[in-house]
Structure 1
């Protein structure tokens, strides 16, 4: 199953994100290498980010995201994890 993870950023957390961004990106790269992270990127307006992941269940997606270094330091104002079913395009062929 594929999950869309929406991060919401708050301006007052910017310094925390900047400090922990290298560890966050290392964690993302490891997820890409394992096939858990399909894509990720910040919104250009700085309001947050989107991470597209593969997980076997909602609980597994939540467990995976809890390992993000950003989670450990409270670098996001909100995290929303929703199952997503792409119907067209590059991600639509992924199980």
Structure 2
């Protein structure tokens, strides 16, 4: 299993859409279990996007799963970046 840093960049003018779909988005993320699971997530303070840390068997499997995020389905995400990450020190190092 690998850990991936996922960066969401929110679509301009999508505040109301995100507000509407936030409960479903959070339920989707917290419901991930098994091969793909949530390590941590949260929005950037400036409202431009969010950072998600997820454990997954592959980048392709993670990308396919994230297509079902209500934020993605509603068109709230303008850009998505998935990068494999190795947390070698700190509180998340047990995920490495």
TM norm structure 2: 0.89
Query: In the aligned structure 2, how far is the partner of 1:63 from the partner of 1:91?
Result: 24
Cα deviations by residue, 1:14-72 (Å, 9 ceiling, x for unpaired) = 111111111101111212xx260000000111111001000001111111211211111
* 2: CA distance, partners of 1:90 / 1:67: 29
Q: How many residues align?
A: 93
Unaligned runs of 5+ in 1: none
Q: Matched residues in 2 for 1:24 and 1:78: separation?
A: 16
Large movers: runs of 4+ above 6 Å:
none
- Distance in 1, matches of 2:11 and 2:95, equals 33
Structure with more helix by fraction:
1
Measure the CA separation in 2 of the matches of 1:21 and 1:51.
14
Please state whether the residue corresponding to 2:31 is helix, strand or coil: helix
* Separation in structure 2 between the aligned mates of residue 48 and residue 14 of structure 1, nearest angstrom: 11
> 1:79, 1:89 → 2: CA distance?
26
Give the alignment's Cα RMSD to 1 decimal. Answer: 1.3
The normalised TM-score by structure 1 is 0.90
Q: Distance in 2 between matches of 1:20 and 1:13?
A: 11
